[in-house]
């Protein structure tokens, strides 16, 4: 049984309200914490860190009424992974996406997982005109055969057969406003839209995340038995992101929700946050968090070898993607 079939319309609206609130909080935090002018990656970083705890706190009592547990994890790393592809006889190189959003729901019958790749752009008015020949747009429009750059992911040619269900642009409000002053969908400072030269807000980003969790948006993938290039690629991204998220540190012990954090200098941004309401971190092989990120929530996590000073910011090319993961499980 999917999560969407368990909740009534009012509860679905509560989920949406919780995400919308989390985006506003993370949006304000990015502006407050940025050491200079705030950029796209600052807003993404704030969403996958501030948003983790905020959404967990709002969603947990809603899901608990139906015997559903909740785990949320967020990882931030910028400018990775890079991919190459051919376009009109020219070799192009761009980052695959700014953010990977994943939801996985486990029930007694099966595990259902969905994902969406997101490319973020700043906008003052809910629109954004991309330049002629924009290579990122070409990737998100055609989804031609591409290959990852570097040695972390194998460089085989991949064809995702993506037609828009698993990829979206996000427009991020670059001004200052109170919610009631913003004339964006659902008055959310992030909106979502499909790839186009002239991007225009189609729905709130809160709606995209909520519908992903309810099984109404995103593209299905298999975590335990990946068949097809889409499933294999999403699992590869989760695996290398978990492997390359270093030096987890426990901020506090006890009964509070656990938040694990590692902040590196701006040019080497990489953070991991984990919030689990109602129990220990999931450890099942069918769990995305349990498979790839559980080790980062341990106080005795083995530190990685020192970074190679010749590697720039210390992380190999292709080493992870900013990721936001929501896991739910029907208990019993």
Query: Are residues 23 and 43 in contact, defined by beta-carbon separation less than 8 angstroms?
Result: no
Asked which of 88-97, 170-179, 295-304 is least confident by mean pLDDT, the reply is: 295-304
- Residue 177 or 257, more confident: 177
Q: What is the pLDDT of residues 214-237, one digit of tens each?
A: 999 999 999 888 889 999 999 999
Lowest pLDDT segment from 71-85, 94-108, 193-207: 71-85
**Averaged pLDDT for residues 286-306:** 56
Checking if the pLDDT of 21 tops 90, the result is yes
Q: Are strands 323-330 and 99-106 parallel, antiparallel or unpaired?
A: parallel
Burial 240-250 (b: 16+ CB within 10 A, else e): bbbebbbebee
Exposed / middle / buried, residue 329 (Cβ in 10 Å: 0-12, 13-18, 19+): buried
Distances (CA, A) of 15 to 19, 33, 213, 271: 6, 27, 9, 25
What phi, psi does 112 have (nearest 5°)?
A: -115, 130
- Lowest-confidence range among 70-74, 202-206, 280-284? 280-284
* Predicted confidence (pLDDT) at residue 31 exceeds the cutoff of 90: no
How many residues are present in the chain?
Answer: 332
Nearest to 138 by CA among 174, 75, 90, 181: 90
Residue 53 to residue 250: CA distance in whole angstroms: 15
Going by their DSSP bridges, the two strands 190-193 and 167-173 should be labelled as antiparallel
In this prediction, residue 285 carries a pLDDT of 67
For residue 277, name the pLDDT band (cuts at 50, 70, 90): low
Label the pairing between strands 190-193 and 198-200.
unpaired
**Sheet of strand 90-95: strand arrangement:** 90-95, 82-87, 146-148
Whether 20 and 207 have beta carbons less than 8 Å apart is answered as no
What SS3 state is found at 175? coil
């Amino acid at each position: 049984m999917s999560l969407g079939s368990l909740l009534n319309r009012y509860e679905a609206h509560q989920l949406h309200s919780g995400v919308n609130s989390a985006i506003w909080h993370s949006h304000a935090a990015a502006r407050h914490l940025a050491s200079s002018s705030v950029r796209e990656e600052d807003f993404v970083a704030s969403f996958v860190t501030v948003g983790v705890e905020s959404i967990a706190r709002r969603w947990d009592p809603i899901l608990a009424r139906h015997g559903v547990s909740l785990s949320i994890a967020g990882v931030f790393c910028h400018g990775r992974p890079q991919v190459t592809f051919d376009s009109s006889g020219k070799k192009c190189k761009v980052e695959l996406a700014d953010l990977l959003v994943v939801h996985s729901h486990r029930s007694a019958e099966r595990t259902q997982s969905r994902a969406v790749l997101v490319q973020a752009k700043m906008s003052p008015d809910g629109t954004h005109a991309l330049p002629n020949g924009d290579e990122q747009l070409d990737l998100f429009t055609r989804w031609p055969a591409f290959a990852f750059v570097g040695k972390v992911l194998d460089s085989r040619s991949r064809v995702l057969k993506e037609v828009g269900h698993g990829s979206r642009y996000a427009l991020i409000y670059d001004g200052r406003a109170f919610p009631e002053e913003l004339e964006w969908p659902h008055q959310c400072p992030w909106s979502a839209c499909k790839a186009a030269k002239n991007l225009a807000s189609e729905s709130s980003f809160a709606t995209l995340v909520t519908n992903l969790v309810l099984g109404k948006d995103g593209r299905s993938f298999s975590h335990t038995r990946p068949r097809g290039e889409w499933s294999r690629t999403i699992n590869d991204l989760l695996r290398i992101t978990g492997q390359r998220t270093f030096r987890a540190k426990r901020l506090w012990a006890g009964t509070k929700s656990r938040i694990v954090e590692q902040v590196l200098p701006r040019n080497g941004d990489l953070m991991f946050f984990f919030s689990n309401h109602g129990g220990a971190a999931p450890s099942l092989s069918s769990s995305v968090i349990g498979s790839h990120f559980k080790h980062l929530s341990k106080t005795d996590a083995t530190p990685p070898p020192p970074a190679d000073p010749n590697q720039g910011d210390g992380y190999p090319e292709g080493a992870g993607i900013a990721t936001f993961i929501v896991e739910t499980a029907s208990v019993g």
